[in-house]
Amino acid sequence: MASSFITKEIESRIRQSPEHLFEVFLEIHEPINKEPPEILVKYPDDFSDPILKTAANFAYPCQIPPDDQSEHFTFVILDSTGTLFRFGYCRRSNRESTCLCLISYYPWFEIFYNILNDLSQIINSKSTTEVETFLSSLYNHKLLSSEEFYNNSCRETIEITSLSNIYTYSRPDLRKLPSTLSNRNFSVLFSCLGPDNMLRLFSHLLFERRILFISSKLFHLTACACGCLHLINPMHWQNIFLPILPESMTWTAQCSAPYIIGIHSSLYSKLNRNELGDVVIVNIDNRTIESQYNDLNLFPKQLVRQMRKDIQQSSQLAGDHLARVFLRTMAFVIGNYASGFVEKNEKLDFDRDVYLKQYQGSDLYNFMSSIVNTQMFEQLSRYRTHVKITHETEMDEFDIEVRNLEQSKQATNPLIEQVQNKAERLQTAINKAGQKVVSEASAVKTNLTSFDINDVIRRKVEESIESNHLALPQPNHSGTLTSSSSRSTTPGLDPSKANSLIDFDTDENLLLPSPIVLDVVQVPSAPEPSRLSPKIDSKIKQLQSELQYKVQIFDGKRINPREEYGEEQTEIKTLVQQFDPLNESSAVLFRSDINAADRHPSLNEHIPTNYVNNVLRNIQSTYGTNTRMNPRTTHPVQHASHSSLAADFDPLVAPEASLYPSFQSTETHGSNLIDFN
């Protein structure tokens, strides 16, 4: 429980109404031969404070090459109470052997950097009187009080006169969030570290880790060390804060207390890394953060995802969008601090146990407990208690963000509800579609398991033959064959008597055609030649065994037939076409040639081409003949003409040499008969 309340000045560690714009101006000469730096000019002359020697060491914290000395940087020292910050703004140039320094209570980085630039020009003019006039006007300038400044719409112009010029500066409003355009420290922090490192740094700051910044540029040390304080707004850092660490104070990096320290890379290389302990090392030059803590994992996952998204979007926008992302996060985390207020002895106070009671039993308890036990939250709760008691009505950016967050929770947006309802329905549809896919996949696997090679062969061949069905010729009264159609001169087949080229119902060889018997002349048909039946049944069984093996190792991936059998499709089509001598245009369709929508669900693979070729070669070697028949011969039809027709329709039936002429030519004269040669 907080023992007493504190004011804004103590909580922020920034003096609210200093008497002068700056405390002292110093011109410090660089050290020579390892001698301490020497103060050449001091204004006002009667200023006496132990900080003078300390300031000289901070102005030259280490040996820096002359080419790297042209830069602005700021060091921080404490006042006599050891509580409030005093900022030492420095300007060094490689054309000069001195450092200009202004020490002030005001955290106005851009203002004092501009003042140092103007003062450097005046000093280079070799006019001592003008320098004194400028410093006197700056030192004695009376600023408006905070209340007057806010009542004047936060506008105030600081006019500084010299003998020849009038210099004007605009007073900044510290209540506003830092902008990436106007706040140099915050913009350099983002450009040097990037979004991800800024998010990690924010988590380490919130848990008060020991953070050590390293860089070869003093300005980068100042910008990152001072700029990171904006990430924890409205809380303020209550521990050791040294944006620039001189060589004489490097032992401070080994302190066990939380700190934010910036050290030049030349000094860091001299430190013993093992003596630093569990320090978080932020290497600005390399854009890396080394830490044994994974504090970001302690944050709520949804909060981290939202912050990443907002930071990515704000990086493309100007203004205070980036700073507002972190302020909104702080409002989400500690915006309900008022729930810890209790009355004790008729006095209002803050009780951290009462505040944490709302998180007991939830996943946020450890996260919130770690934050509540920091010194930053302790000082914030005590200051907010003071505000509650004194009934101060002034609202800062944090209060506005908390109010907006509460309103967004209470407001019911019909559009948001509609989107949420649609999302729920969409999720239901996706689940149903997923179940359907699983069911269909199971059905496909079942079909593959029951796949019958004989059924596939029969169906494919029947479809090919039926598409080219022909009619048998009928005899007329004159004993000659005539077509059933008077328009065509080509003999046709009777559909009622048509036989398949490959008869699967016969008990004999399944892949060989049966002879066709014609009733033109009652002459005994030529005897069927003896056949050496090839072991086609064993081949088919072997095919079935291979297919069954593929089904057992089926992993859900469909085989692309074009890739597996594409090189032999042309040869297979040519050979299979020869079994249909009546239709030259009939095409053999492979699975790869058929649209996916027309495929049978049980067909997922082809009959391997090598087995088809082996079967055809067996047929060729067993039943092949060198004799060719021309169905378009002009010889008159004799009584034995049925044998000629039988030979035409069954190319494996050998005709008698006495009835049919033999041609030795290799030309087919337009015939579709099989040429096994």
Domain of 82, CATH number, reads 3.30.450.200
CA distance 168 to 253: 40
CA distance 390 to 7: 11
What 8-state DSSP symbol labels residue 25? E
354 and 388 together in one domain: yes
Supply the range of the domain harboring residue 348.
336-394
197 and 135 together in one domain: no
CA distance 371 to 364: 11
Q: For a pLDDT cut of 70, what percent of the chain falls above it?
A: 63
Which of 170, 193, 214 delimits the end of a domain? 170
Q: Domain for residue 639, yes or no?
A: no
364 and 276 together in one domain: no
Burial 400-430 (b: 16+ CB within 10 A, else e): ebbeeeeeeeeeeeeeeeeeeeeeeeeeeee
Q: ∠ CA(496), CA(502), CA(505), 5° rounding?
A: 80
CATH of the domain at 279: 3.40.50.11500
pLDDT tens digits, 507-547: 444 444 444 444 444 445 555 444 444 556 676 777 767 77
318 and 289 together in one domain: yes
What is the model's pLDDT at position 653?
Answer: 44
pLDDT tens digits, 286-309: 999 999 999 999 999 999 999 999
Q: Is the pLDDT of residue 96 over 70?
A: yes
Helix (H) or strand (E) holding 194: none
Tokens of 610: 């090598």
Q: Is the pLDDT of residue 246 over 90?
A: yes
Burial 26-52 (b: 16+ CB within 10 A, else e): bbbbbeeeeeebebebebeeeeeeebe
CA distance 122 to 134: 9
What is the model's pLDDT at position 116?
Answer: 95
Output the CA torsion sign for 328, 334, 336, 338. Answer: negative
Stronger pLDDT, 668 or 405, i.e. the higher one: 405
Mean pLDDT of 47-70: 83
Q: Would you say how long the chain is, in residues?
A: 677
CA distance 426 to 420: 10
Mean pLDDT of 587-593: 47
Mean pLDDT of 87-96: 87
Q: Domain for residue 626, yes or no?
A: no
301 and 369 together in one domain: no
What is the model's pLDDT at position 172?
Answer: 93
What residue type is assigned to position 552 of the chain? Q
CA distance 509 to 486: 39
Write down the pTM of the prediction.
0.62
What is the model's pLDDT at position 443?
Answer: 73
pLDDT tens digits, 375-404: 999 999 999 988 888 877 677 889 899 998
Stronger pLDDT, 103 or 513, i.e. the higher one: 103
CA dihedral 430, 433, 435, 439 (to 10 degrees): -170
Tokens of 304: 């981290």
Q: Is the pLDDT of residue 499 over 50?
A: no
Q: Domain for residue 288, yes or no?
A: yes
364 and 215 together in one domain: no
Mean confidence (pLDDT) of the chain: 76
Stronger pLDDT, 428 or 121, i.e. the higher one: 121
What is the model's pLDDT at position 675?
Answer: 46
What is the model's pLDDT at position 662?
Answer: 44
pLDDT tens digits, 163-177: 888 999 999 999 899
239 and 294 together in one domain: yes
Q: For a pLDDT cut of 90, what percent of the chain falls above it?
A: 41
Residues 484, 494 contacting (CB under 8 angstroms): yes
What CA–CA distances, in Å, run from 291 to 8, 198, 280, 586? 33, 14, 5, 75
The DSSP string of 534-569 is --HHHHHHHHHHHHHHHHHT--SPPP-HHHHHGGGH
235 and 273 together in one domain: yes
Mean pLDDT of 225-231: 96
What is the model's pLDDT at position 53?
Answer: 84
Q: Domain for residue 370, yes or no?
A: yes
Which of 373, 394, 415 delimits the end of a domain? 394
pLDDT tens digits, 431-448: 777 777 777 777 766 666
The domain tally of the chain equals 3
Q: Domain for residue 91, yes or no?
A: yes
314 and 342 together in one domain: no
What is the model's pLDDT at position 36?
Answer: 87
Q: Domain for residue 620, yes or no?
A: no
3-state secondary structure 489-503: CCCCCCHHHCCCCCC
Q: Domain for residue 531, yes or no?
A: no
237 and 369 together in one domain: no
202 and 309 together in one domain: yes
The DSSP string of 145-182 is PHHHHHHTTT--EEEEE-SS-EEEEEPP-TTSPP-TTT
Q: Is the pLDDT of residue 310 over 50?
A: yes
Tokens of 453: 């090679």
Q: Domain for residue 524, yes or no?
A: no
7 and 138 together in one domain: yes
What 8-state DSSP symbol labels residue 284? T
CA distance 151 to 83: 29
Residues 580, 464 contacting (CB under 8 angstroms): yes
Which of 138, 170, 202 delimits the end of a domain? 170
